[in-house]
Homo-oligomer: A and B are copies of this chain.
């Protein structure tokens, strides 16, 4: 029985976000778009995630203009974006009016498919963006974040997926951001979802330690409809598996993608030249990435831990921190270790080890997390730890964004004529300092890209969050 597998190309979003610190410029994308459009991809992921922020902050490009420029050339293939639930493309929850207008404008400027997720799988954080995406006429893909813990059972994923479909999801994505899902677990998971969830399924994984190609194959056997890949020069390592391998592996099977490998090589050659020109490394698997198999701490998080410990001249305590992380994670209700929860768990673990007394120091973001300001953790937080951390603070039971005042009207007052469009207003609503600086430089005709120091995405992400949240 023939069952053609479809492919989403992530080269222009997750690929360079994972390997090139999100530094691909619009001018690097435009020359290859016509070829990408001809391949027959299910969709091209080209927007959202960290690209919005990096455009404004470092590349000094208007992300909305990028989207329109891409849409102008890509006439046949749906454009896809990644949306971090109520955090949109930023690092904190935004008020509902900002979320609604942002989603509407993303679709208005060319997005066809919006992949929406919440780091805690707290579906309350996905309600407003999903409803807005639906109302805007986009295909709403709701993503379930994959992780490993005693509470992340098949039932957890199935329940979450079912409720997301009830909430209007047109398709479900399994989002394995840390490359943790083994082939045979992928099979089980997809088989259960396929049986019980009546919408198409997509699988998104990262190569990391090398499980992803196998996981895709087993997910496909179990019925997954679409998988995410990148062109080989932007594949492997922290990025997606290469499209060429997946296409070849499925050729002449019932799952044949029917993509033309020769066309894919022409595209790869373009990105390979670009890679060399810009001086980026290929994606590789290092031991620190592999060790995710042992303690589920993603390689990027280890990189962050190492730099935190180096600052404290305490690098020799890394192994202790790696052992403390699972304890903290359990006490905090088993959040998946992804932005922002990876930083929350990691920072607390570092402090627990360095101070010599667990939970003696509590950073502000850990307190906010325990209070419920990021949403509901997958499992209850350890009551003793919760009491210790919150003291007199009351835990928040409602959807976090219910505590936020509408903001669109207020920011119009703030930014005045510096904003030339509603798109500008939204950029400002998400990243006020960065956007204001961008608008001012634009007025003065002095927008100049910040030189990239090639430090990699994880460090970058951390810095982004620090700057914007303070």
Among the listed B211, B245, B247, B287, which residue makes an inter-chain contact with A232, where contact means beta carbons less than 8 Å apart? B287
Among the listed B214, B233, B245, which residue makes an inter-chain contact with A217, where contact means beta carbons less than 8 Å apart? B214
Among the listed B242, B265, B272, B282, which residue makes an inter-chain contact with A210, where contact means beta carbons less than 8 Å apart? B242
Contact B244 A272 (CB under 8 A): no
Asked, given contacts A184-B253, A236-B284, A253-B184, whether A210 binds B213 with beta carbons under 8 Å apart, the answer is yes
Contact B244 A290 (CB under 8 A): yes
Contact A294 B261 (CB under 8 A): yes
Among the listed B184, B248, B269, B284, which residue makes an inter-chain contact with A293, where contact means beta carbons less than 8 Å apart? B248
Asked, given contacts A183-B249, A184-B253, A214-B217, whether A244 binds B284 with beta carbons under 8 Å apart, the answer is no
Contact A287 B262 (CB under 8 A): no
Asked, given contacts A211-B245, A236-B285, A242-B210, whether A182 binds B251 with beta carbons under 8 Å apart, the answer is yes
Please report which residues of chain A, range 277-304, place their CB below 8 angstroms from some CB of chain B when the two chains form the complex: 282, 284-287, 290-291, 293-294
Contact A217 B183 (CB under 8 A): yes
Q: Can you list, as one digit per residue, whether each of A240-270 has a CB less than 8 Å from chain B (1) or not (0)?
A: 0110110111111100000001100100110
Q: CA A184 – CA B5 in complex, angstroms? A: 15
Q: CA A218 – CA B217 in complex, angstroms? A: 10
Contact B182 A248 (CB under 8 A): yes
Minimum C-beta distance from A257 to chain B (A): 13
Contact A294 B282 (CB under 8 A): no
Residue of B nearest to A269 (CB): B287
Q: CA A290 – CA B293 in complex, angstroms? A: 27
Interface presence of A209 (CB below 8 A): yes
Contact A248 B209 (CB under 8 A): yes
Contact A293 B253 (CB under 8 A): no
Q: CA A242 – CA B287 in complex, angstroms? A: 11
Contacts of A269 in B (CB 8 A): 287
Contact B249 A265 (CB under 8 A): no
Residue of B nearest to A283 (CB): B284
Asked, given contacts A184-B253, A253-B184, whether A211 binds B290 with beta carbons under 8 Å apart, the answer is no
Q: CA A234 – CA B287 in complex, angstroms? A: 11
Q: Can you list, as one digit per residue, whether each of A195-236 has a CB less than 8 Å from chain B (1) or not (0)?
A: 000000000000001110110011000000000000011001
Residue of B nearest to A231 (CB): B287
Contact A209 B285 (CB under 8 A): no
Q: CA A241 – CA B286 in complex, angstroms? A: 13
Q: CA A294 – CA B269 in complex, angstroms? A: 14
Asked, given contacts A183-B217, A214-B214, A217-B217, whether A265 binds B287 with beta carbons under 8 Å apart, the answer is yes
Please report which residues of chain A, range 282-333, place their CB below 8 angstroms from some CB of chain B when the two chains form the complex: 282, 284-287, 290-291, 293-294
Contacts of A217 in B (CB 8 A): 183, 214, 217-218
Contacts of A233 in B (CB 8 A): 287
Contact A184 B249 (CB under 8 A): yes
Residue of B nearest to A255 (CB): B184
Most buried by B among A249, A272, A284, A291: A249
Among the listed B249, B261, B287, which residue makes an inter-chain contact with A272, where contact means beta carbons less than 8 Å apart? B287
Minimum C-beta distance from A245 to chain B (A): 4
Residue of B nearest to A216 (CB): B214
Contacts of A251 in B (CB 8 A): 182
Among the listed B213, B252, B253, B293, which residue makes an inter-chain contact with A244, where contact means beta carbons less than 8 Å apart? B293
Contacts of A282 in B (CB 8 A): 284-286
Chain A positions within 8 Å of B, measured between CB atoms, are 182-184, 209-211, 213-214, 217-218, 232-233, 236, 241-242, 244-245, 247-253, 261-262, 265, 268-269, 272, 282, 284-287, 290-291, 293-294
For this complex, 23 residue pairs linking A to B, each with C-beta atoms less than 8 Å apart, are: A182-B248, A182-B249, A182-B252, A184-B250, A184-B253, A210-B213, A210-B236, A210-B241, A210-B242, A211-B213, A211-B245, A211-B249, A213-B214, A236-B285, A244-B293, A247-B293, A248-B293, A261-B293, A265-B291, A265-B294, A268-B287, A268-B290, A282-B285
The 5 A-B pairs with the shortest beta carbon distances in the complex, nearest first, are A210-B245, A248-B293, A184-B253, A244-B290, A282-B284
Q: Give me 19 other A-B pairs in contact (C-beta within 8 A), A209-B242, A242-B290 excluded.
A: A182-B252, A184-B249, A184-B250, A209-B244, A209-B245, A209-B248, A210-B242, A210-B244, A211-B249, A233-B287, A244-B290, A244-B293, A247-B293, A248-B293, A261-B294, A265-B290, A265-B294, A282-B285, A282-B286
